[in-house]
Amino acid sequence: MNAPVSKDEPPSIRWGRAQSPWRDVPTSDWNDVRWQLKNLIRTPARLGELLGLPQGEQDAVAGLSKQFRWAISPYYFSLIDPTDPHDPIRRLIVPSSDEDVEEGLADPLSEKDDQVAPGLTHRYPDRVLFVVTSFCSSYCRFCIRKRNWKHSDAAGSREEIDQAIAYLRAHEEVRDVLISGGDPLTLPPEQLDYILGQIKAVPHVEFVRIGSREPVMLPMRIGDELLRVLDRHGPIWINTHFNHPRELTEEAAAACERLARLGIPLGNQTVLLRGINDELGTLKRLFQGLLKIRVRPYYLYQADPVIGAAHLRTSVWKGMELMEGLRGHTTGLAVPTYVVDAPGGGGKIPISPNYIVSAGPGRVVLRNFEGAMFSYPDGGTHVEVNDRPSASVADLASGLAQRIRPADHPHYARRAQLAEARRGHDGDPE
Ligand code: SF4
């Protein structure tokens, strides 16, 4: 059932339930979130059995389990190619001896420094982060909130939630509440109903955002009861967390469809991860595939220096190179903003390749995604149209010429052909 949506991967790496040990499980069980939770893979021995792990690796996983918990649903596990030790889905979720728990920070974004009430971080002027539970169906190996689910899976108590709500009521500058975790959509619907109802009753809060990986990890969770709760408390925006095109399964697409049909705008936050999605073709397939299931790529995050995840981090230069390959080369809706979360609680900093080549009074020189450069009259500068090509940025900066185009570029070759055809047509006596 869960054949990935992406069609441009070789069949040999398209995995799913049909190839998995759960191929004979009745579909009614497979699509039941309770069955998935009852059958979580959560022991090194079971992991060893499914992936053929040597005893040494199983022992390493047993050691890591004491540091940070893990558990994987059969649904998500069925996306792993068990024959590939470097499988990207496996790297996302399966603990391994690559994790150095001596390396990295427990709270890389210093969220605790801006914590104003239980679970409530007030960092930016008009919005707050509200962590309502430590429970998550993912336990991503690169999670920046590993510290929250290290020892406990607890949801915020009613008393803690009420303290946070009291802060919101007292702070009229807060107009946007981002509910996160753990994963808020794992809460019992009545608990989520209570939290959303309380937030909605705060007059100056204009809307709520929810960050959730459930459409990716356990899309069967997006059922009627949950949808009724979300519908009751709009306007709500949801940010999903797809990291790889193989996560774009039929089930995930159906979950996003159900949310979108409620009128909930869907965005996606991807973390850039070494050996998982730090390759242009993979990212393009992911972002283009998201648009096909009505999800707008929103942020591409630089992976933070959290404990035990050094092996998954890329350089910022890698991120810039990938953005260079996306912007202009595919539809703008498929291009997220690449951000680095500044250490010590500095907040998100957008990073983009530089498209300004030179700037002076009245004129800037810009380059486009093809490498062509243009002289752009700035502000009230007199616009003189000239079609003189140039080989010099200095000519562009002074306005002596308008453009430098890359030689033999297919776009400009096509344009030349069109111009030629038009000339032929204009010269036609008919
Ligand atoms: S889904 Fe989010 S909160 Fe849950 S483990 Fe992954 S990164 Fe952490």
Residue 225 sits in the same domain as residue 272: yes
**Residue with CA nearest ligand 1 atom 7:** 143
Last residue of a domain, one of 350, 369, 403: 350
- In ligand 1, the atom with minimum distance to the C-alpha of 180 is 3
User: What single DSSP character describes residue 272?
Assistant: E
Residue 81 sits in the same domain as residue 121: no
Residue 405 sits in the same domain as residue 270: no
Residue 74 sits in the same domain as residue 164: no
User: Which stretches within 43-129 are classed as H helix?
Assistant: 44-51, 55-67, 74-77, 88-93
Q: Does ligand 1 lie within 6 Å of residue 212's CB atom? A: no
Residue 273 sits in the same domain as residue 312: yes
Determine the structural domain holding residue 16 and report its residue range.
11-93
Annotated catalytic residues are 123-124, 127, 136, 140, 143, 145, 304, 341, 348
> What spacing in Å lies between the alpha carbon of 32 and ligand 1's midpoint?
22
Look up residue 369 and give its two tokens.
Answer: 């995604």
Question: CATH number for the domain including 311?
Answer: 3.20.20.70
Q: Does ligand 1 lie within 6 Å of residue 211's CB atom? A: no
Cα dihedral: 181, 183, 185, 188 (round 10) = -80
Residues 6 or more apart from 152 whose CB is under 8 A from it?
Answer: 134
Contact 74, 39 (CB under 8 A): yes
348 φ, ψ (degrees, to nearest 5): -80, 135
Q: How many domains does the chain have?
A: 3
Q: Does ligand 1 lie within 6 Å of residue 139's CB atom? A: yes
Q: Which of 94, 135, 136 to mutate to test the pocket of ligand 1 (most atoms within 8 A of CB)?
A: 136
pTM above 0.85, yes or no: yes
Residue 374 sits in the same domain as residue 309: no
Q: Does ligand 1 lie within 6 Å of residue 269's CB atom? A: no
> What spacing in Å lies between the alpha carbon of 76 and ligand 1's midpoint?
14
**Residue with CA nearest ligand 1 atom 8:** 143
Q: Does ligand 1 lie within 6 Å of residue 145's CB atom? A: yes
Last residue of a domain, one of 350, 383, 415: 350
Residue 237 sits in the same domain as residue 172: yes
- In ligand 1, the atom with minimum distance to the C-alpha of 146 is 8
**Residue with CA nearest ligand 1 atom 3:** 182
Residue 165 sits in the same domain as residue 292: yes
Contact 229, 236 (CB under 8 A): no
- In ligand 1, the atom with minimum distance to the C-alpha of 241 is 1
- How far is 155 from 186, CA to CA, in rounded Å? 10
User: What single DSSP character describes residue 157?
Assistant: P
Per-residue pLDDT of the chain (430 residues; tens, 9 = 90+): 444 444 445 434 456 788 889 999 999 999 999 999 999 999 999 999 999 999 999 999 999 998 888 999 999 999 999 999 999 999 999 999 999 989 999 889 888 889 999 999 999 999 999 999 988 888 899 999 888 766 666 677 899 999 999 999 999 999 999 999 889 999 999 999 999 999 999 999 999 999 999 999 999 999 999 999 999 998 999 999 999 999 999 999 999 999 999 999 999 999 999 999 999 999 999 999 999 999 999 999 999 999 999 999 999 999 999 999 999 999 999 999 999 999 888 899 999 999 999 999 889 999 999 999 999 988 876 666 666 777 799 999 988 888 898 877 888 888 888 988 998 877 655 4
Report if residue 2 sits inside a domain.
no
Residue 201 sits in the same domain as residue 267: yes
- In ligand 1, the atom with minimum distance to the C-alpha of 217 is 1
Report if residue 100 sits inside a domain.
no
Residue 38 sits in the same domain as residue 56: yes
Last residue of a domain, one of 45, 67, 93: 93
**Residue with CA nearest ligand 1 atom 6:** 140
Q: Does ligand 1 lie within 6 Å of residue 91's CB atom? A: no
Residue 162 sits in the same domain as residue 293: yes
